[in-house]
């Protein structure tokens, strides 16, 4: 299983997303499996189809497919939680479903 966390250093949310992801992975016995990738330029964001920071992909699939279609760029990402509220990080449920 390939687990990537793509981030932009200018976004303050990626450490929180990393901590949540590592917690969920540890619960599943998959600790230490996260590939961190910093996105440095707009051109790189376009090449990676990077919809903002943080972006988490499992086997190349975004944990939030609905949000993956946002135009790429060096920006902070907004996730929409199950109850419709915005969040700077994906929900535990989104992570768990992506890892299933």
State if pTM tops 0.95: no
Structural domain count, the chain: 1
pLDDT digits (tens, 9 = 90+) for 23-37: 999 998 887 789 999
Mean pLDDT by 10 residues, the chain (100 residues): 94 96 91 89 97 96 93 95 92 93
Range of the domain at 13: 3-99
Q: What is the DSSP string of 2-61?
A: -EEEEE-TT-TTHHHHHHHHHHHHHHTT-TT-EEEEE--SHHHHHHTT--SBSEEEETTE
Kind and range of the H or E element at 96?
A: helix 92-99
Predicted local confidence at residue 23, as pLDDT: 94
pLDDT at 50: 97
Report residue 16 as tokens.
């929180």
Can you give the pLDDT at residue 81? 87
CATH number at residue 43: 3.40.30
């Amino acid at each position: 299983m390939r687990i990537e966390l793509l981030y932009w250093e200018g976004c303050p949310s990626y450490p929180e997303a990393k901590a949540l992801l590592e917690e969920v992975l540890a619960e599943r016995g998959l600790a230490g499996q996260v590939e961190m990738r910093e996105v440095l330029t707009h051109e790189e964001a376009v090449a990676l189809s990077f919809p903002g920071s943080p972006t988490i992909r499992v086997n190349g699939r975004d944990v939030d497919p609905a949000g993956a279609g946002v135009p790429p760029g060096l920006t902070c990402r907004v996730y929409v939680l199950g109850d419709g509220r915005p969040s700077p990080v994906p929900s535990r449920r989104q992570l768990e479903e992506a890892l299933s």
